Amino acid sequence: MPLFFPGSSEQTVKPPIPSAVVDKLAELSTDEPLPDVYPGDRIRLLAQSPRKLYLYWGLDKNPYETLERAFGPQAARYSLVLRVIKTETNEETLHLASPTKSQWLDVQPGFTYRVDLGLYAPGRAFIRLLSSNTAQTPRSGVAREADTEPLWNISAENFARVLDEAGYVSDALEVTLEAVDEATDDAATRAIAQAFGGAKVPLMTEEELAEMRALLTALAFGSSFESAREVLSPSLANWLTEAQSVSQRFDGARLFEVLHALLGLELSRLHPEAASEAAMRRAARVIVGASEVNLPARPFHLWLPSMNLGGLKKIGSLTH
């Protein structure tokens, strides 16, 4: 039987496979179970995305045996935990360690982290067993730095239009917010958040402002408040909680009304099924999830603002 190779005009005849080779291939295809325990102590931290770290570890000896010899019955009070440390600020959070010896961790973009594996009981000192390597999470948004060469330079406004035409609608919205922030000395996102949430917007660093743009984009395309709150910095998580209690309408439709009023931005559906929840998820760049892939889809189209200075000055006046 002829065998055609993709991308080639060649054709050849498939030769018979000797029975000895078939037997060997069958033997190799048998799945071998992974060992439950690896020799030696080991721990490794990996950055998977701006808001996700992956940690795996192994211990050569059972730490509870040593603990019981030292503390006797009090050893039962201890749990195996992970201490996640943001190295820039030395902030620490504790998480129960998974029995699978591997774990996804929610973190913030643009920071360096280290994780200690250890034993902890309430009111007692943390007993460190292993310390991981450091891992740095990338930024969550498009970098503000742009190529100075005219051949490669593109404005944020034009970049947003390219993203929209390519099907990355939520990314186009986030870059649009960044573009109007650049034109208004970072006043636009604050004004939009204030008008949408009703609660006072806290002072924000550049990273927190990028985080707010990502949050507004995710909420506009249907992400839940609960999933968003889990990965926010404390100040923005508090703002989100307060805004939910203050605002009578706190949903994606209301947010697009604010975006239309302040930016003239409109969202149109290109297909009838675009109103479905699944289509909204495809359009949104989900900010929570260990393995989400933002494949381009075009259920929506954004009519983007013209960035005229008159309208943008009106936005700036709302925050003063």
Contact call for residues 114 and 136 (beta carbons, < 8 A): no
Q: What is the pLDDT of residue 117?
A: 96
Q: What is the pLDDT of residue 50?
A: 81
Mean pLDDT highest for which of 102-116, 191-205, 206-220? 102-116
Q: Check whether residue 69 and residue 117 sit in a common domain.
A: yes
Asked if residue 7 is part of any domain, the answer here is no
* CA 14 to mean position of chain CA atoms: 47
Higher pLDDT, 162 or 224: 162
Asked if residue 105 is part of any domain, the answer here is yes
Q: Over 60: is that where the pLDDT of 285 sits?
A: no
Rounded to 10 deg, the angle between the 188-197 and 252-263 helix axes is 140
Q: Check whether residue 122 and residue 237 sit in a common domain.
A: no
Identify the weakest region by mean pLDDT among 110-124, 143-157, 193-207: 143-157
- Percent of the chain with pLDDT strictly greater than 90: 19
Using pLDDT thresholds of 50, 70 and 90, give the confidence band for residue 21: low
Identify the weakest region by mean pLDDT among 193-197, 287-291, 307-311: 287-291
Asked if residue 117 is part of any domain, the answer here is yes
By CB atoms closer than 10 A (0-12, 13-18, 19+), residue 65 is exposed
- As a whole number, mean pLDDT of residues 182-198 equals 86
Q: Check whether residue 285 and residue 177 sit in a common domain.
A: yes
Q: Over 90: is that where the pLDDT of 108 sits?
A: no
Higher pLDDT, 165 or 14: 165
Using pLDDT thresholds of 50, 70 and 90, give the confidence band for residue 163: confident
- As a whole number, mean pLDDT of residues 115-144 equals 88
Asked if residue 292 is part of any domain, the answer here is yes
Domain count, the chain: 2
CATH (domain of 102): 2.60.40.10
**CA–CA distance, 233 with 210 (Å, rounded to integer):** 12
Q: Which domain holds residue 291?
A: 156-317
Q: Check whether residue 125 and residue 213 sit in a common domain.
A: no
Q: Check whether residue 226 and residue 265 sit in a common domain.
A: yes
Percent helix, strand and coil across the chain, each to the nearest 5: 40, 20, 40
Contact call for residues 45 and 87 (beta carbons, < 8 A): no
> Who contacts 150 (Cβ-Cβ below 8 Å, separation ≥6)?
none
Asked if residue 104 is part of any domain, the answer here is yes
What is the secondary structure of 21-82 as a DSSP string? HHHHHHHHTSPPPPPS--SS-EEEEEEEETTEEEEEEE-SS-HHHHHHHHHGGGGGG-EEEE
- As a whole number, mean pLDDT of residues 204-210 equals 84
- As a whole number, mean pLDDT of residues 58-84 equals 90
Mean pLDDT highest for which of 33-37, 72-76, 164-168? 72-76
Q: What is the pLDDT of residue 20?
A: 63
**CA–CA distance, 190 with 199 (Å, rounded to integer):** 11
Domain boundary among 136, 167, 198: 136
Q: Check whether residue 224 and residue 312 sit in a common domain.
A: yes
Q: Check whether residue 189 and residue 309 sit in a common domain.
A: yes
Q: Check whether residue 177 and residue 111 sit in a common domain.
A: no
Asked if residue 3 is part of any domain, the answer here is no
Asked if residue 273 is part of any domain, the answer here is yes
Which residues in 266-282 are b (16+ Cβ under 10 Å) and which e? Answer: ebeeeeeebeeeebbeb
Higher pLDDT, 274 or 195: 195
**CA–CA distance, 118 with 128 (Å, rounded to integer):** 4
Computed over every residue of the chain, the mean pLDDT equals 75
Higher pLDDT, 38 or 300: 38
Using pLDDT thresholds of 50, 70 and 90, give the confidence band for residue 19: low
Q: Check whether residue 73 and residue 166 sit in a common domain.
A: no
pTM of this structure: 0.56
Q: Check whether residue 162 and residue 307 sit in a common domain.
A: yes
Higher pLDDT, 5 or 145: 145
Using pLDDT thresholds of 50, 70 and 90, give the confidence band for residue 49: confident
Element spanning 235, H or E: helix 234-246
Q: Check whether residue 255 and residue 284 sit in a common domain.
A: yes
Q: What is the pLDDT of residue 110?
A: 82
Q: Check whether residue 200 and residue 125 sit in a common domain.
A: no
Identify the weakest region by mean pLDDT among 69-78, 101-110, 228-237, 250-259: 228-237
Asked if residue 18 is part of any domain, the answer here is no
